[in-house]
Structure 1
Amino acid sequence: MSIPIRTPEEIEQMRRAGRIVAECHRRIASMIRPGVTTMEIERMVDGYIRSQDAIPYTVGYNGYKYATCASVNDVIAHGFPSDAPLADGDLATIDIVAQADGWIADSAWTYAVGTLPESSRKLMQVTKECLDIGISLAQPGNRIGDVMHALQKHAEQNGFSVVRDLLGHGVGRELHEEPNFSHAGKPGKGFRLKEGMVLTIEPMINEGKLEMFIETDGWTCKTMDGKRSAQFEHTIAIVEGGPIILTEQ
């Protein structure tokens, strides 16, 4: 496994794509409410990215048609934007990838639509805490297994499960670069983080069991038991003194 190492100058160049993705999420946060459709969000994101002389990278990626993945309730990831209005109490995860100046940034966020049931509110909170744990431990010299074990332990102690079949990954000139890794880890195992690595931390946490399936469209990943899922994702650069969050909102 050959993991790309980016120079400080290259990491700096990646910031523009990160800022564009972050601004998309800020705009989604201000517009999401019952009655809005994920297709409206899709059009906003596509238009904003293009207005910044950047590329909505997932349009045409392996045949995917949209600038966003829009995953509602029991959809874990890769859901298609829809004209169906979001309902009060829904969970909606919007995943966005932008390419600017040849560099890519990737960030997903789960949004509360209206007033959530308490179980969904807790799921969102714990998933965000899992992201924060992963980022806080993403220090040079740490093993990925230790980082992900801490994240996994937090989810499971709160009664949730960690999706294993969808992975974190390196980001750079391509969307999916080495390394690829699960968000469930074994202490003392896996590669060591090194300064200059750029990767996503993107835990997908399920309210019920971890098993998932893919719909016949070849993209939409759903929980096997029909319970809800949440995800929070940032693109980060590993540097001495703590990671740089390139997609910070």
Structure 2
Amino acid sequence: MIELKTPAEIDRMHVTGRFVAEVLTEVGRLADVGVNLMDLEHHARGMIARCGAESCYWDYTPSFGRGPFRNVICLSVNDAVLHGLPHDYTLRDGDVLSADLAVSIDGWAADSARTVIVGTPAEEDLRIIRATEEALEAAIAVAHPGNRLGDISAAIGEVARDYGYPVNTEFGGHGIGRTMHEDLHVPNEGRAGRGLTLRPGLTLALEPWFARTTDRIVYDPDGWTIRSADGSRTAHSEHTVAITEDGPRVLTRREPEAAATAGGSGGPPGAKDA
């Protein structure tokens, strides 16, 4: 069932979205050479507890996982791209880290992800991060009332093709609102003009993710962490977006991104303060 949210309910989701953006910004700031993934996990736990928010991940038990997820953030390194289980791993120079976070505040959820480079960036890693960020912005740009769900998917796929990256459609965006996952799967490839007509009040988590040289995935023995099947590096960008009468409203925009959208200058793609 698809639930259209009122403007007041979207405002409440925006409160959650701003907090999610704050946590991801802090995680990106702290991610550095020598930092353990569990340090980032515990820092995120502390921020969530102090805010009085509720993790959407803790005890999450979907069909593909192995037992309940007992962490509050997904941290995926290098060839890992989705559902990375925080564990005892110390970040190294040049690592690519994707952080994905969903929380609920007063019954309203928001979900976002970003990818950063730890230490010295490689150009090919900056490139794939830039591709996911551009694909996300292209998807947001067509998220207007009257357009179709396929327009969003097609916009993401077009950016991937322009960069030469294959696209996996098993995992993509989704509806969001009272829970982290609501009806509607939003593939990262599709046909423009097809699918559900976008209406004001629809809220979606849009999340392009690419691997450099494959569209196939494999799972770690932990049952959660998803990696590129050929070991190539990956990137993941995500925002929670509301369809409104005035166009798309990004509920999880980080402050530097908002400034850049308003005409300021942002940092380079994949930079830790982006």
- TM-score class, shorter: over 0.9
The alignment partner of 1:61 has SS state of: coil
Structure-2 separation of matches of 1:98 and 1:187: 31
Are residue 215 (structure 1) and residue 220 (structure 2) matched? yes
Q: Deviations over 1:46-91 (max 9, x none)?
A: 1101101111221111110100011111112011112211111111
The partner residue of 1:175 within 166, 175, 180 is: 180
Match of 1:230 in 2: 235
Whether the 8 Å contact between 1:139 and 1:238 is mirrored in structure 2 is: yes
Instruction: Give the TM-score normalised by the residue count of structure 1.
Output: 0.96
Q: Deviations over 1:142-188 (max 9, x none)?
A: 11112211221111111112221112111111111011121111122
How large is the RMSD of aligned CA atoms in angstroms?
Answer: 1.1
Whether the 8 Å contact between 1:139 and 1:239 is mirrored in structure 2 is: yes
Structure-1 separation of matches of 2:4 and 2:205: 14
The alignment partner of 2:113 has SS state of: strand
Are residue 102 (structure 1) and residue 101 (structure 2) matched? no
Q: Deviations over 1:95-134 (max 9, x none)?
A: 1111100111111110111112111111111111111101
Structure 1 residue 39, shift from structure 2 partner: 1.1
Opposite residue 153 of structure 2, the aligned amino acid is M
Structure-2 separation of matches of 1:35 and 1:161: 32
Opposite residue 93 of structure 2, the aligned amino acid is D
Opposite residue 48 of structure 1, the aligned amino acid is M
The alignment partner of 1:26 has SS state of: helix
Instruction: Give the TM-score normalised by the residue count of structure 2.
Output: 0.88
Match of 1:196 in 2: 201
The alignment partner of 1:15 has SS state of: helix
Are residue 111 (structure 1) and residue 111 (structure 2) matched? no
Q: Deviations over 1:188-239 (max 9, x none)?
A: 2111111000110100111111111222322111111110110000001101
Structure-2 separation of matches of 1:204 and 1:148: 12
The alignment partner of 2:103 has SS state of: strand
Q: Give the alignment of 1:1-249 within 5 angstroms.
A: 2-62=1-61, 63-249=68-254
Q: Deviations over 1:5-49 (max 9, x none)?
A: 000111111122111111101211221111112211111111101
State the percentage of identical aligned residues. 38
Aligned length: 248
Whether the 8 Å contact between 2:239 and 2:252 is mirrored in structure 1 is: yes
List alignment gaps of at least 5 residues for structure 1: none
The alignment partner of 2:227 has SS state of: strand
List alignment gaps of at least 5 residues for structure 2: 62-67, 255-274
Structure-1 separation of matches of 2:179 and 2:117: 31
Whether the 8 Å contact between 1:163 and 1:203 is mirrored in structure 2 is: no
